[in-house]
A = this chain, B = another copy of it.
């Protein structure tokens, strides 16, 4: 396995110059650069990141911590971030916390501290204060998507606003019997998000002076299957059946639509459904939704974190000022919402 030394010998340059030529750091004459690159190519040599990391402190490696990789929102965020990071020459190291609870602690205490990460993107993570300070203790840029991390950068949609506007959309169409299917701490450790969305729903209902019964506020996990079961329970109660459902995610909304079909309820004639996410399946189901473009969120997060890295290498003295950025969303109206049928 050829090392930089062999490249130096072959090219007739010093190790230092070869390092600069291949690493693209200091100033190197065009001639030397070509010499070094040719020699490297001939030997099939690539700089070892392990050694570079140790010597320079820069790892070219960003960690991303997600609850799981299997939910559409998360995988989209990862996808977006991966594209940007790859482009920038960075590795992406993936940590999934939801495997089981103890893993989460391991990740936070061990893995992230091992100085192999230049920065961390944390997706939808609700951390205790101790955990946050642990994260920040690595003295590397940290950015939270979804869950805000006090003291770190964050990129988030305004969940409250979003939920309120989604509900308002239904209200604006003339619906008065509007149910909500959201998340619950029973199903998800990250409880803040579903609670916020629920509040938005409640606020919209309250402002419109519409009734919100317990029976119309259901919860499930954030999956199609979970919402499907919940929606069946909701819609099976024929007496006070809602004419519209605001689901806290598109996957939940799809589950609701599937449940509605089971009961022979036509969407949107007999039941309007609105979701949140911009799920790729939304189109097939004609789902009205607030698109929160997770892929773009991931890409933007990656860009922000890379900017941080550049900045911190420039003036390390500047105090770290956390930035909270709000990511815009967009209402996409499709066929799943309409004016309620007259009774």
Contacts and interface: CB of A to CB of B under 8 A. Distances in A.
A137 B44 contact: yes
A289 to B, nearest CB: 15
Nearest to A295: B70
Chain B CB within 10 Å, residue with most, of A76, A93, A261 = A93
B99 A116 contact: no
Interface in A80-95: 82-83, 86-87, 89, 91-95
Interface stretch (A46-54, A166-174, A310-318): A46-54
Contacts of A260: none
A280 interface: yes
B44 A50 contact: no
A323 interface: no
Contact of A116 (B44, B49, B72, B89): B49
Given A225-B284, A284-B258, A79 B51 contact: no
Given A92-B94, A94-B82, A281 B225 contact: yes
A255 to B, nearest CB: 7
Contacts of A72: 70
Most-contacted residue by chain B among A86, A96, A106, A285 (CB, 10 A): A86
B53 A50 contact: yes
Give the bracket for the number of chain A residues in contact with chain B.
35 or more
A136 interface: no
Interface in A53-103: 53-54, 59, 61, 68-70, 72, 75-76, 78-79, 82-83, 86-87, 89, 91-96, 99, 103
Given A50-B59, A59-B50, A92 B91 contact: no
A75 B72 CA distance: 9
A283 interface: yes
A283 B225 contact: yes
B86 A75 contact: no
Interface in A22-56: 44, 46-51, 53-54
B114 A46 contact: yes
Given A46-B115, A53-B53, A69-B78, 5 more contacts: A49-B114, A68-B79, A69-B82, A82-B99, A86-B106
Interface of A: 1, 44, 46-51, 53-54, 59, 61, 68-70, 72, 75-76, 78-79, 82-83, 86-87, 89, 91-96, 99, 103, 106-107, 109-111, 113-116, 137, 139, 223-225, 228, 255, 258, 261, 280-281, 283-285
